[in-house]
Amino acid sequence: MMRGRKPKKEPTIAVVGPGRVGQAMGKLLRGSGFPVRFVVARRIAAARRATKCIGGGRAVSLDSAELEGAQIFLLTTSDAALAPIAARLAGTLSGWKGKVALHTCGSLPAAVLAPLQKQGAAIGSLHPFQTIPNPAEGLRNLRNCFWAIEGDAAARRVATRWVRALDGVAFAVPPEKKILYHAAAFLVCPTEITLMERSTFLLRQCGIPEKVARPMLAQIVTETVRNFAKLGAQGALTGPAARGDWAIIRGHMRALERAAPDVRPVYKSLLRAMLRLARRRPPRDLERMLG
Ligand SMILES: NC(=O)c1ccc[n+]([C@@H]2O[C@H](COP(=O)([O-])OP(=O)(O)OC[C@H]3O[C@@H](n4cnc5c(N)ncnc54)[C@H](OP(=O)(O)O)[C@@H]3O)[C@@H](O)[C@H]2O)c1
């Protein structure tokens, strides 16, 4: 009689700081067969709420000795809380050898979890290059997304398995470059929202209500993004700077001076970069204005 091999038991996970990312990742990992055993928050009521979203796990507080039963700690707290939480966990729990601690912060390296590494844990970070405004959106968009991974080999192995299970793409970022890597994400995500809000403000002054402006902006931005992905930056660039239509640019600057002076310096900075991209040199008066 052939004896079937016992399936390998997956290591148990504790999600620490179950906010937007923690809840979404907890539910996704659980759905992919990774056992989320604990959901840990500073307020037990928040941990209980999160277990409902995740669909399982035991709600416990940060000082609970039960946590020694977890093998992987996924820290999804705010960035500033990572170092103190790592120090607190290292001080209150024992038996870290062979365990893994991962965080999801894009700007800080794994080394922020050094107190856990000192106790014998493998530390790492896995950062989704994605925007998660609430857990429900995270459940959708943390699949098939791109993840930056760095840290100790054992931690990278866990992170890579998770990313594969979520049909994502894993890539490495050197720890000392994480802040620059995060600035790259910042440059295209929260700034984009801010630009769209300012654009809505200008459109309102032209008599276009927000309920029209929002889908209208979403459409042009979606098209722009699609063109960028397909054609690259130079191929996708349109508008008066790409055409060398200097009279229009002078007109924009005058109109912005009256309607939204706060937007003018942003317009000028972006225009400088755009002209470099378009390989165009503006006439003298504009060059002086751009400084
Ligand atoms: N949201 C995104 O788009 C996104 C994308 C990529 C990566 N990330 C990264 O993922 C991590 C989590 O982000 P998030 O957007 O999910 O944040 P979030 O929704 O604000 O959740 C943060 C969680 O951390 C907890 N927390 C904060 N300070 C704490 C402390 N001193 N002690 C214990 N728990 C504490 C909060 O608990 P309370 O409820 O008690 O305050 C909350 O549960 C961050 O490192 C962030 O940089 C976020």
pLDDT in tens, 192-225: 999 999 999 999 999 999 999 999 999 999 999 9
> Do 125 and 213 fall within a single domain?
no
Q: Which residues line ligand 1 (CB under 6 A)?
A: 17-22, 41-43, 46, 76-79, 81, 85, 104-106, 127-128, 130-132
pLDDT (mean) for 27-52: 97
In a domain, 1, yes or no: no
Q: Tell me whether residue 180 is in a domain.
A: no
- Distance (angstroms) between ligand 1 centre and the Cα of 119 equals 24
Residue located nearest, by CA, to atom 40 of ligand 1: 42
Q: What integer pLDDT is reported at residue 68 of this predicted model?
A: 96
pLDDT at 21: 98
* E strand or H helix that includes residue 92: helix 82-92
**Mutation test of ligand 1: which of 27, 78, 89, 134 has the most ligand atoms closer than 8 Å to its C-beta?**
78
Contact 167, 144 (CB under 8 A): yes
Given its phi and psi angles, is residue 211 left (phi above 0), alpha (psi -120 to 50 degrees) or beta? alpha
Query: Helix, strand or coil for residue 207?
Result: coil
**Do both 164 and 204 map to the same domain?**
no
Q: Which pLDDT band, with edges at 50, 70 and 90, does 79 fall under?
A: very high
Global pTM reads 0.95
- The atom number, within ligand 1, closest to the CA of 62 reads 33
Cα of 194 vs its chain's centroid, Å? 17
Q: Is the pLDDT of residue 1 over 50?
A: no
- pLDDT band for position 7 (50/70/90)? low
Residue 175: its pLDDT value, please? 98
What's the whole-number mean pLDDT along residues 17-22?
98
Bridge partners of 101, per DSSP, are: 73, 123
Q: How many CB atoms lie within 10 A of CB 112?
A: 21
Split into its structural domains, the chain has a count of 2
What domain range includes position 207?
188-290
What is the pLDDT at residue 99? 98
Q: Which atom of ligand 1 is the closest one to the Cα of 46?
A: 39
Residue 253 has pLDDT above 60, yes or no: yes
pLDDT (mean) for 142-166: 98
Would you state the torsion angle of the CA atoms of residues 231, 232, 236, 239, taken in this order, to the nearest 10 degrees? Answer: -160
Is the domain of 98 the same as that of 169?
yes
Q: What pLDDT score was predicted for residue 172?
A: 98
